[in-house]
Amino acid sequence: MDAETKAILEGISTATLTTVLLKKGLRNVWLRGAFPKQPGQKRVAGTAFTLRFVPAREDLATPASWASPISTRAAIEAMEEGVICVADALGVTDAGIFGDILCARMAKRKVGALITDGVMRDMEGVLATGLPVWCAGAAAPASVAGLTFINWQEPIACGGVAIFPGDAIVADGDGAVVIPQALLAEVMAAAVEQEAQEAWVMTEIEHGVPLPGLYPPNEEAKARYTAFKAKKS
């Protein structure tokens, strides 16, 4: 994701994005169970780098698997600066997918954030790394107690949402939202306009204008908004 796109997306709320995507027919874009763990966590945006887990199978989900060429450790080394790591943990909440050491390495590699429908372990240490994390909570057991890591950069289902490598991810205090890669430009343009219009609506409310006809705007309100934009430009 280029710097300009990232900056624009970081200025758009996930609430706005879900509304814009809804207008385009996409209802299932908000990742269930992924919430920011750091108070006041700033909004992040980036390209999805996916991790896929399946339910634990005892012959595969072992501590020895951590040294396998197909491992979370190897996946972290493949992550580029600024990507948003999205991990499909199947909603498992009794085994932490990552701890402080892996998150420290991700922070060192300047990964943009970690988002999962699962949980973390060593939460205090994880937060101390500075890596922005959206997850469903904390648990002491290691990932292999409940999950088997399969691969990275595959289509996944995180929080009940389909995520493909290369999709755009935006996350803030309301959670995380996916924007399909093919729709990014038009969604971004519509979201910027919606944010501008809603900022104008807020000023109208401050001036005592009642909601009917203002939000959503009727023709008269649209005309006033158009005049307001023309005056600003």
pLDDT at 62: 77
Per-residue H/E/C for the chain: CCHHHHHHHCCCCHHHHHHHHHHCCCCCCECCCCEECCCCCCCEEEEEEEEEEEECCCCCCCHHHHHCCCCHHHHHHHCCCCCEEEEECCCCCCCECCCHHHHHHHHHCCCCEEEECCEECCHHHHHHCCCCEEECCECCCEHHHCEEEEEECCCEEECCEEECCCCEEEEECCEEEEECHHHHHHHHHHHHHHHHHHHHHHHHHHCCCCCCCECCECHHHHHHHHHHHHHHC
Q: Structure pTM?
A: 0.92
| Superfamily of the domain at 3-182 | Ribonuclease E inhibitor RraA/RraA-like (3.50.30.40)
pLDDT digits (tens, 9 = 90+) for 53-69: 999 988 886 777 777 88
pLDDT digits (tens, 9 = 90+) for 141-198: 999 899 999 999 999 999 999 999 999 999 999 999 999 999 999 999 999 999 999 9
Domain ranges of the chain: 3-182, 186-232
